[in-house]
Amino acid sequence: MRRLGAAAAATLLVVLGLALATGWSSGETREARPPAGPQVREGAARRRVPYSFRRVASGLVLPLHLAAPRGEPARLYVVEQAGRIRVLERGKPRVEPFLDIRPLVQSGVEQGLLSVAFHPRYAENRRFYVDYTDLAGDTRIVEYRSDGETALPDTRRELFRLEDPYSNHNGGNLVFGPDGRLYAGMGDGGGGGDPGNRSQNPATFFGKLLAFDVDRPDAPPEQVARGLRNPWRFSFDRGTGDLYIGDVGQNAYEEIDFTPRRSPGLENYGWDVYEGRSRFERKRPSGGRLVFPIVQYSRRLGISVTGGFVYRGSTVPSARGRYFYGDFGSGRIWSLRVVRGKAQDVRLERFRVGALASFGEDAAGELYAVSLHGGIFKLVD
Ligand SMILES: [Ca+2]
Ligand SMILES: [Ca+2]
């Protein structure tokens, strides 16, 4: 694997929203404490597991994300940070990119082309969506269509633009939910400690989970959740519709948030009142249903969480129903099961993927891990 230089690696450490620590502390208070939940412990389960991540492709250039339309079992689409989407067919990157919008994209550290989502009826309508940082550093969410092989640049239609005060914490994940809406995870706008207190402020889109009705392009997105710092990858369980979010912490805790499909609505994931389950700022949450992480881990085990997927593939039966997630900096990967809303059987896996930028699913629900160093790995027996 090509190794990046030390300087590049240092900047990559902030790719996912870790950095710009500004001396905020997470002083505990005597106010109501959140419920204790499972902490991730090193070596909590060292039992032999029959699976691992095996490299299936190399040579991508700063790949950040991976997705596939449901109707294309033989293809993976890999997002490269600079502004391209590459097609992988049986492990081989096609020479011609699927999409190339590099001239429109400001790329580097936490900015760039950050994700792609295919319309649930992509096989018929060929519509797909990208989230990227434009040349002014602002977030854009744009629809394109393809001819089935390659994107058609002239079909571009903008859904959303958000002027961004800082270069970091851009969220950037796009996922279609079980209700057919397009969900977008927005970071808190950046800086350290949410200096503009945007995540709890219902008047801004920062720090929110947004849902777009892509058939009503002029309708504003619904804010379905608030209190996010930098949701670096979220997913809906394709089996149950439950929502899992990896939210990057400030100085202390990385967290995974869970919301069942049938939730009462308007979740508040806590930031910047809480970092993980710890008090961060002495103020009240701004409303909504306060949700604490189902699991968190400290700086000893990692620096920047990468949320993953509940495995619903068929290649590795023993992993079915387990939620996989990891850490960008340490490359550690864990899995767990959610039972009645709680994390159980949290397991540190034996394998690591360095510069773990994302997980992704193919059409059949097989699970992949994406290394920013250029490799794609598949969960196999
Ligand atoms: Ca703040
Ligand atoms: Ca939180």
Q: Is 27 part of any domain?
A: no
242 phi/psi in degrees, rounded to 5? -70, 150
Query: Which domain does 370 fall in, by range?
Result: 6-19+53-380
Gap from CA of 307 to ligand 2 centroid (Å): 13
Q: Is 228 part of any domain?
A: yes
Q: What is the mean pLDDT of each run of 10 residues along the chain (381 residues)?
A: 35 42 27 52 56 95 97 96 96 94 96 98 98 97 98 97 92 97 97 96 98 92 98 98 98 98 94 98 97 98 98 97 98 98 96 97 98 97 92
Residue 99 C-beta-side C-alpha neighbours within 13 Å: 35
CATH number at residue 182: 2.120.10.30
Q: What's the confidence (pLDDT) of residue 136?
A: 96
Gap from CA of 269 to ligand 1 centroid (Å): 14
The β-bridge partners of 339 are 342
Tell me the per-residue pLDDT of 137-191, one tens digit each, with 9 for 90 and over: 999 999 999 999 999 999 999 999 999 988 999 999 999 999 999 999 999 999 9
Gap from CA of 298 to ligand 2 centroid (Å): 14
Q: What's the confidence (pLDDT) of residue 29?
A: 26
Enter the pTM of the model: 0.90
Which of 72, 59, 168 is CA-nearest to residue 114?
A: 168
Q: Is 26 part of any domain?
A: no
Q: What's the confidence (pLDDT) of residue 1?
A: 30
What ligand has the least distance to the C-alpha of 253? 2
Tell me the per-residue pLDDT of 255-289, one tens digit each, with 9 for 90 and over: 999 999 999 889 999 999 999 999 999 999 999 99
Q: Is 34 part of any domain?
A: no
43 phi/psi in degrees, rounded to 5? 70, 20
- Is 210 in a helix, a strand, or coil? strand
Q: Is 31 part of any domain?
A: no
The token duo for 80 is 């490269």
Gap from CA of 86 to ligand 2 centroid (Å): 33
Q: Is 46 part of any domain?
A: no
How many domains, the chain? 1
Q: What's the confidence (pLDDT) of residue 39?
A: 61
Q: What's the confidence (pLDDT) of residue 48?
A: 63
What ligand has the least distance to the C-alpha of 26? 1
Q: What's the confidence (pLDDT) of residue 264?
A: 85
